[in-house]
Structure 1
């Protein structure tokens, strides 16, 4: 009797299960984050810097700009607020990102 095949099948199933579990967890965290963002008042895509500052106040800090070397690489400005970072392409919002407990955006100065 060949016992190799059931053992191989069990190992393969364990590997597949282990690789799917983090993905499902990550998807769940992303969905929670999107729901949290929907419930918050955050700067919206297309708002100007002046509109953001008028509506949300002065940022806690304005990080060094990036890019700007060509028309295909416009200047990206980043403003930090408590709990989120606003990204501007030239002078208009392109994205607002929540600071996460995982630490992805808690120290944007380090991303050089």
Structure 2
């Protein structure tokens, strides 16, 4: 019995694991680049002038120290703007995948 167990153990260790790969389909560009949305660095006043009043203004979060400035979010129809203090730091388009960075580093499957 011991020999059978040892043989099965050795056989299982010597088998080659199956390698599997999938094709990754990348979205065509940044969705925020195709929409007219605020750009990084705009002020809250400039955003309000250009895009009007948001559907909802969220209260600032954080701001307890210079390393953690207050972050504010304004929601528009289909996208949200995030501010650090009074400056746009990001725009998030709803139901859109996050942009993929370093696409040039990806290689096609052989």
TM-score tier after normalising by the smaller chain length: 0.5 to 0.7
1:14-73 CA-partner distances (Å, limit 9, x unpaired):
xxx2xx538x24xx1xx3361x32211110001000100100111000112111000110
Gaps of 5+ in 1: 105-112
1:32 to 28, 33, 48: 28
Output the CA distance in 2 between the equivalents of 1:33 and 1:100.
Answer: 15
Larger proportion of helix: 1
Higher relative contact order, structure no. (Cα contacts within 8 Å, ≥ 6 residues apart): 2
Write the mapping of 1:1-112 to structure 2, written as runs, cut at 5 A.
5=14, 8-9=15-16, 11=18, 13=19, 17=20, 20-21=21-22, 24-25=24-25, 28=26, 31-32=27-28, 34=30, 36-100=31-95
CA RMSD of aligned residues (A): 2.6
Gaps of 5+ in 2: 1-10, 99-110
TM-score (norm 2): 0.68
Output the CA distance in 2 between the equivalents of 1:42 and 1:69.
Answer: 29
Structure 2 SS opposite 1:86 = strand
TM-score (norm 1): 0.66
* Structure 1 outlier segments of 4+, above 2 Å: 8-11
Output the CA distance in 2 between the equivalents of 1:101 and 1:94.
Answer: 18
Output the CA distance in 1 between the equivalents of 2:63 and 2:41.
Answer: 19
How many residue pairs get aligned? The number is: 88
2:55/2:76 contact within 8 Å kept: yes
